[in-house]
Chain A
Amino acid sequence: MYNSLTRIQNTFGFFTTVAFVVAALIAASDLITPRTPTAGLLAPTNVQVVKGRPHYYSSKKEEYAIIKFSLDADLSSLFTWNTKQLFVYVTAEWPGPGNATNEAVIWDSIITNPSADHLQNIGPVAMKKLKRSAEGKTIDPSRGLLKLRNQKPKYQITHPSSRIAEKEDVTLKLHYNVQPWVGLLTWNQGQDIGPWKKLAGGISKTFNLPALKKKDAQKKKST
């Protein structure tokens, strides 16, 4: 500490230690914050299976399931000071041969905490609106309240075999992934862990996918 340079070095060195310890404490503060996510309703509202191509120039034809759904969920307890964003996604699951389970994402959404709004990849107008929606708030748990009605899926799903029509025992499941500013990524867990409760609900009743929609039959009806 006898000249300026050693004082800069020593002070910066200890600053890195303090910063690391504070970051560890922030990550640990998540562990004592209760998480009580609930999902009231998750149900398919309209299910169709159609034929299509994976891309425009493909000669391969595949069957695609288009599952519209309704969802009520309260994920507001997942928003704390250390939450950067929440990734919410809905999967469709159906049993395969043997003990295999097929799983495909049909819809997802990124919900940012106000502290991370600037990271959202949206246009300037939508960004302004998003920022204004949480003006003066450091966290906004109300963003965790999801209410979707007859939501169109973002992804139409198929299967490596290209066949998905008339599959039985399909369920929809809600998942989430909490992405913190510091700490580990956490997903919805299968059981209660301390103050983190498992997601209540979030699984739909089983349903069957319908038979392939015939284009000819539809045309005949419409004419």
Chain B
Amino acid sequence: MADVLDQVRDVVDGQIDFEGQKITELLATILLVISGALSFFVGYILQDIKLAVYVGLGGTALTFLAVVPPWPFYNKNPVKWLPAGYAADLAASKSSQ
């Protein structure tokens, strides 16, 4: 039971590693700028303001989909922590010498 709850919490929390955070930041900015530019030019060239709105909102929805869930792609460089008690062991071994 506790395992299941832990899994649910992890999905909702959706933490990603530092590299992943860098990528999402960049991806969100680029995708939103592109969808904004696309919505303006498509709307202007086809003279269709409704299409511009839909392109803009569609691009934004796509950005949310790409950036918000903790895709495995964003967790490829987990931080390598030192093993537990490593520092204490080190200190102990030093004092015994």
Q: In the complex, A42→B49 CA distance in Å?
A: 33
What residues on B are CB-neighbors of A207 within 8 Å? none
A99 CB–B CB distance under 8 Å: no
A26 CB–B CB distance under 8 Å: yes
Q: How far is the CB of A26 from chain B (nearest CB, A)?
A: 7
Q: How far is the CB of B31 from chain A (nearest CB, A)?
A: 9
Query: Contacting A7 at CB < 8 Å: which of B35, B36, B68?
Result: B68
Pick the most buried of A18, A19, A81, A139: most chain B CB atoms within 10 A of its CB.
Answer: A18
A residues contacting the other copy or chain, number (CB 8 A): 24
**A81 touching B36 in the complex, CB below 8 Å, given contacts A26-B52, A115-B50:** no
A56 CB–B CB distance under 8 Å: no
A120 CB–B CB distance under 8 Å: no
Q: In the complex, A3→B25 CA distance in Å?
A: 12
What residues on A are CB-neighbors of B28 within 8 Å? 7, 10-11, 14
What residues on B are CB-neighbors of A87 within 8 Å? none
A119 CB–B CB distance under 8 Å: no
